Each structure stands twice: as C-alpha cells, then as structure tokens.
A and B are shown apart, each in its own frame.
Chain A
Amino acid sequence: MGSLSGIEILIVTDSTEVLAQLRKVLDPEGAWVSDARTARSALSAALELHPHLVICDLALLGHGAFIFLREFRASLGFAHTTKTPVLALGDARSREGIVQATQLGATDCVLKPLQALLIAAKAEKLAKSAIFPKRVLAASEGTIAVPMEIMRAGESGFVIESPIVLGPDSEVKLESALIDRLGLGAILMRTGTRGPFEPASVTPPRSETGQVADIGLIGVDPKSAKALRELASGGEL
C-alpha cells in the first residue's frame, strides 16, 4: 500500500506534460487523482470530490489559478474549502505569482521543473494534514451483520458459531438456507440468557477473520419453534 493510499488529490492544470509528471509520482503511491483544466471546472470538482489536497498550476491560462484560489478560499462560503491544503506549482522567474498565490491562500509552493521526490513528500505531508470534521450522532440506530454457522437447531432455538460474542437477551436476526427450508424466512429472535460459551474448535478457525469463534444460544419465537420441532423430531435436520 502506497504512502498516499486512500488520499484524494485534485490537480488543476491545463498542461498535459505537468499532469503526466504529477500522475507519474502520485498514482503509484495509491492516491485517487482527478484533474481539472479550467478554474470553473476545478471549482466544481473541488466541491464534488472534497479532496484532501489540491495541486494548482499557477501557469493556468488567463490567470485561472488565481481566480480558482480566490473563489475556492473566499467566495464560496463553505467552511471546509478554507482549510483544504493547496500546493501551488510556481515558476522561479515569476516571484510575484508565488507571492500572490500565497496571499490568496496557497498553503505551500514548489518550483518548476518539478522534482518527483519533493512533490511526493509535500503532497503526503499536506494531504495528511487535511482534517475533515467528525460527526457525533445522537446514537443513530444501525445494524451489524456477520457470517455465522448453525450447529444445532430445534424447538428451543439454535446453537450458532459466529465471530462476535452475543450479549444475552438481545434481539438478533438469523438468515440461512436451513431457515429458508423450514419456511421461516429471516427470523427475529432473542439471544438466550445463558450467554456465550467455549468455541467448538480452534483449528481450523471458523470465523472469517481467523479468530476463534464464539457460540451463543438463541431462542426462537413460538411459531418458528413449532416448525422446528416438527422437522427436528426425525433427528437430524
């Protein structure tokens, strides 16, 4: 996994050569790279992608880079775009451009001709400084689903093995071909109060994660129990 794995970078340049040079450095590091060739398309891409880093070529046609920087930082009114790091690509012969870009909100600058190692190092440092807000929720209801295996079944419920240790007296849903065969569909049930106990085996590991699986006893509702009792009366299901 590269040092920029999972990092979203937007490159703003109308130079095919600059774009190719940057991609050659960033792609192998695992960055998700998008590009825009004008200030307008760069602004909409930045708002669409919420990148960790914008790399902006100051040589963009018609002072496009400065228009982009000004709009991105000041005029859009989105709190987040004021914080996204922007790496400007400048020209040593145009000091004023670099100063202006810095005044408009560029976070850092590298000079052309571009050096691969310097670009990679700055991109990594800046991208990882991008902080997106976390959102605390008032306990939003959710679900967790894991693979499991049914070991036993019958009127008192199921004995199952799964990678999680089930808490007692909680509502869970079981789905399996066996349950379908019994004509029950996905069934809601409550876990037993006797709780988890020793795994049936540790080799080979049963759970998908390679961990020792735990077992819980799960109770079924009366209707499902009747169907199970009838089918279990013959012995093996």
Chain B
Amino acid sequence: MAMDSAMTLSAESSFHALETGFTRAFARSRAAIAEFEIVLAARPVRLRVVGDGLGRWISRPFAHLRRPLTAAPPALRIDLWEGAPPSGVPPMPASPMQPSEILASDDARWLSQRKPHIWMAFDRHASHIVVWVADSRTLTAYEQGRPLHSQLLRWHADVGVPVVHAGMVAIDGDGLLIAGPGGSGKSTVALACAGAGFAYLADDYVGLAHQDGAYTGHSVYCSSHVDAQHIGHFPAAAAAARRSGLLTTEGKALLFVTDMPGARLDATATLAAIVLPRVRGGITRVTPATQVEAMIQLAPTSLHMIPLASFSEGFARLSRLVSATPAYWLDLGDDVERIPRLLAPLLTARLPRLEA
C-alpha cells in the first residue's frame, strides 16, 4: 500500500515530503549545518545545507557569487540534506543514467524532478527549492558542475532573467555573449578569454536581464565543461581540470574557473555584442553575422532548455535580443591563442591585460 500511495505522489506532495524530510534532518542532524548566501540574477539566495559533503558540492560552482549572510529577505530559498530519504517513499530502481521522473502540477506551481540518488522539488510561488541527496559522493560530474540546473533555469525565467544557451566573458563590465549549439566552441572561447585577462561569467548558461534598452548578463555557475582533447591549449584551465579530476559522460573535463590561476570572475556584465563561434580550421577570424544567422545559432537550444517555458515568448524575446545587438562569426582555426586578441576590439580599443 505504501508503494501505491508513493506511486501517486504529485508534484505538490513531493515538495511537501521533501520539505518535511529537510525539517527533520535540520532539527536532528549532528552533522555540520551550513547556511550561506549567494547572489543570482542580482537577487539574494539563501541556502541551508545539512551534510558536510553536500555543502562542498553545492558551494563550489557558486563560489564566485557567495557573499556574507545578510538580513535581506531571500528571493529564493534552497534547502538541501543528505542521508536517508523522506519516510514512506520507496526508492526508485537504481540506474545511473536513467532519465529523471518529472512531475508538474496542473497550474505549474509545483515541480518535482527525481532520480534514484537525488530528488529536487520547487515551489515556484514560494520561491523555495528543497533537495534530497542520497550520498553526495555519487553525484555525477554534470551534477557537480551544474547543480539544480533545471530548477535554477526555471527560477531565473520566473524573475525575468531568462537563461540563454551561451557563454559570456567581459572586459571592464562590457560583455560578449558566446552563442552556438553544442560543439561549436563556446567553452574553448570562454576559457581562452579567461586565460587572457577577460572576466569569466559563463561557458554555457547565462541569465539575461533586459531593462531600459540594455541587456545585462548574469553568471550562474563558475564551472566549465571543455572537451578533454582541447584543454591542452589552455594551461591555466588544464591545471584547474587536474584539480577537479572530473570527466562527464560526454568525455568533457569539468573544471571550476575559480581554480584557474590568475582568472577573474564577474557576476554581471552589460552585453555589447554576440559572438558565434564555429569550427572551421585554418586561420581564426572574425566576420560580421546577420540577425537571421544570430537567431538561428541562439534560438534552438535556448528555447528548449527552460522547463515549462513558452516557445512563443522565448522566440519573441530572442528576436528582440538579436535585433538590438551586433553579432559576429568567430571562425575557429588551429590558432586558438588568437581568440582573445580578435575579440577584445569588439568591446574596447584596449587589449586585455595579458595580451598587451
């Protein structure tokens, strides 16, 4: 009977089961309880974590966004605990790569995503995410680099800072959005720039706020996933990847840019231009791109990745973005070390620090 009632868990009851589980773990735990604050989309986000390993997991990708606890009411609360699952809920059959079980309430207020080793539920009205993790040592490299990916993308859209599938780097607060489908070279470009004096915001996901005619990019994660065979081009990134020692199932090295010697990370930047990398061979060069080309590079993956998002609204939003922002192709050749020198003039006449 317990199984039957568990099988009919709704998204809302999933959230409440997790919330109750967290409250008990928080009250009973003799393990370390951490409470800290980060800034996402220019808003305070408060995290409460029960479990040492879990604390290390959740804090690392947001290390660049952390700030001392404030009295400000959080725009988002995230509660996490590690250990025994909520009582009365049978375990899912274990299969490491099986797709998540997804539940959403009819009104889309409640959202639950469950795997055998991790269960996340989101109450969008209350801006509250609760997470259970069986054992933080079993989290995949992807989960370690981009924790709570779907829930945070949904929340960013809820607060008017929808995330696009792009990287971002900046000089003196002026940013380049690096857009393209998987395999186009976004991470290569972001890491090349991060190693040459640009500030790093993202290699794959960046929130974009639009206000008073300007777009502001907001960093989410300081992690980067780069093709292991390309990382040799970037000694500082290679050092960071060795430190993390993690490989994704796609054969990409996971690194935290905070571990890159000399790297600077920014939380926000004002968008100046869109760069569209594509692997071409030969000599790396920059040429103007049209609005249609920018839309085709940016829209397909950006539109699909936000859970419960309206394609029509997203399509119109990206159309406004490409109409308002100059775009350039970056044809990637064999001389990737030239990337920062080619991109810096799109932002400023001054070359980045290490290229001068």
On whether the two chains bind one another, the answer is no
